[in-house]
Amino acid sequence: MYVAVKGGERAIENAHAWLAEERRGDTSVAELAVAQIREQLSLAVNRVMAEGSLYDPDLAALAIKQARGDLIEAIFLIRAYRTTLPRFGATNPVETGKMACDRRISATFKDAPGGQVLGPTFDYTHRLLDFKLTAEGEVPEAPTAEPRHEPTPHITEFLQGEDIIQREPESEATPGDLTRQPMSYPSGRDIRLQSLTRGDEGFVLGLAYSTQRGYARNHAFVGELRIGTVAVEMEIPELGFAIEIGEVELTECETVNQFAGSKTEPPQFTRGYGLVFGQTERKAISMALVDRALRWRELGEDDLGAAAQDEEFVLSHSDNIQATGFLEHIKLPHYVDFQSELELVRKLRREAGVEEVREAAE
């Protein structure tokens, strides 16, 4: 526990004033505009929206500026802001099959209808620093080609034709919401997916990596990875019909995993699913791998004792705001706690005869 301590107001005020000055940095360098962050650091903006669990690029950019680029601090700001908003309702589930894809690749089917569309990717770059970017300059216009208008079908649809991959059970059940109800275990896949999509990218990545290295055996293929925009549709009660209230950029990853079959299921491929706000490819793939690992129980697989299979472990540690809150609170004054520990250790030492030993030595 920690006890409230009075005092330090002036020190705190001055610290915050200095923080503001440090945030601004060298005033001979032009100040960053929020729009510049939104447009030019868009992947940071996307991460803040995904883990802040609020889609609003301008707010996320503002949070990044205010947090001096500390993304977890920015996510914290977004989460705090989010709690001030009234909730108008929930949308109809987005239809990712109708996504206007900027990128769409499959590691399993070379000739997938719709093709392998690379989009604005870092893949195949040489990861060499580009010193041209230190100078301002015009960017040459990207080449264009005849655009595709028809929707790009999901890859899993083709496997489903043969029934060689597990079907997703159809349902219109109202999903649980971890922002409204306390967590309880075991939880449903709805809660797990909500938790993973807003979970810390580094944590989810680490867990996903552990499954690849053998801690929960499931070898995943990226059946499909797509990035693009989808319309968000919601029923408007006062109108009595649904309208599109906006559009969001999403990254969706479907993995295809081997499955030997069980007593009730024939051998077939199983699936892991990742869906994340923004262009957030690493996170979406990680989410799909961890989702698949957490499904061991419903698929009748063995519990191998791997971290990525332990739902309670994964879900209670994936939220970086909870984690940082608890972690960082230990730097706040614990004077009284520590005082009592100090007394205790001194007493124990006296009882152990430490004082006498020292005196004898002198």
Partner 1 sequence: MAIQKKNGTEAEIETETGAETGAGQQARRGWMSLLARAPETLLLALWSGYGASPSFDWLRRPETGAVMVRGRMGGTGAPFNLGEMTVTRCALTLQDGTVGHGYVQGRSKARAEAAALIDALMQTGAASAVRRAILDPLAEAMATTREDRAARAAATKVDFFTLVRGEDG
Give the C-alpha separation, 41 to 188, whole Å: 35
Q: Does 193 bind partner 1 (CB under 8 A)?
A: yes
The residue range among 24-32, 100-108, 299-307, 353-361 that interacts with partner 1, by the rule CB under 8 A, is: 100-108
In whole angstroms, the minimum distance from the beta carbon of 276 to partner 1 comes to: 8
Residue number, 5 or 183, with CB nearest to partner 1: 183
The residue range among 13-21, 233-241, 320-328, 333-341 that interacts with partner 1, by the rule CB under 8 A, is: 233-241
The residue range among 128-136, 249-257, 296-304, 331-339 that interacts with partner 1, by the rule CB under 8 A, is: 249-257
Q: How far is CA 317 from the centre of its chain?
A: 12
Give the C-alpha separation, 309 to 110, whole Å: 31
Q: Are strands 100-105 and 220-236 parallel, antiparallel or unpaired?
A: antiparallel
Number of Cβ within a 10 Å radius of residue 197: 23
Residue number, 182 or 305, with CB nearest to partner 1: 182
Binding mask of the shown chain, residues 50 to 79, with x at each position contacting partner 1 by CB under 8 A: x--xxxx-xx--------------------
Q: Does 96 bind partner 1 (CB under 8 A)?
A: yes
Q: Which of 61, 72, 77, 94 binds partner 1 (CB under 8 A)?
A: 94
In whole angstroms, the minimum distance from the beta carbon of 49 to partner 1 comes to: 8
Residues 104-133 that bind partner 1 (CB under 8 A): 110-111, 115-121
Q: Do 198 and 315 form a contact (C-beta atoms < 8 A)?
A: no
Q: Does 47 bind partner 1 (CB under 8 A)?
A: no
Q: Does 235 bind partner 1 (CB under 8 A)?
A: no
Q: Do 283 and 320 form a contact (C-beta atoms < 8 A)?
A: no
Q: Does 189 bind partner 1 (CB under 8 A)?
A: yes
User: Residue length, the chain?
Assistant: 362
Q: Do 189 and 291 form a contact (C-beta atoms < 8 A)?
A: yes
In sequence order, which residues have a C-beta less than 8 Å from that of residue 194 and are 6 or more positions away? Answer: 175, 176, 177, 178
Q: Token digits for 219?
A: 């070898």
In whole angstroms, the minimum distance from the beta carbon of 22 to partner 1 comes to: 28
In sequence order, which residues have a C-beta less than 8 Å from that of residue 328 and are 6 or more positions away? Answer: none
Q: Does 211 bind partner 1 (CB under 8 A)?
A: no
In whole angstroms, the minimum distance from the beta carbon of 105 to partner 1 comes to: 8
Give the C-alpha separation, 192 to 359, whole Å: 61
Q: Do 274 and 251 form a contact (C-beta atoms < 8 A)?
A: yes
Question: Alpha helices of 142-200 — where are they, by DSSP H?
Answer: 156-161, 189-197
Give the C-alpha separation, 223 to 257, whole Å: 9
Residues 251-290 that bind partner 1 (CB under 8 A): 252, 254, 271, 273, 275, 277
Q: Which of 47, 65, 103, 283 binds partner 1 (CB under 8 A)?
A: 103
Residue 269 phi/psi, 5-degree rounding, is -80, 150
Residue number, 58 or 355, with CB nearest to partner 1: 58
Q: Does 36 bind partner 1 (CB under 8 A)?
A: no
Q: Does 80 bind partner 1 (CB under 8 A)?
A: no
Residue number, 28 or 144, with CB nearest to partner 1: 144
Residues 290-349 that bind partner 1 (CB under 8 A): none
Give the C-alpha separation, 100 to 244, whole Å: 15
Residues 144-183 that bind partner 1 (CB under 8 A): 144-149, 154, 156, 168-179
Residue 227 phi/psi, 5-degree rounding, is -130, 135
The residue range among 6-14, 103-111, 203-211, 309-317 that interacts with partner 1, by the rule CB under 8 A, is: 103-111
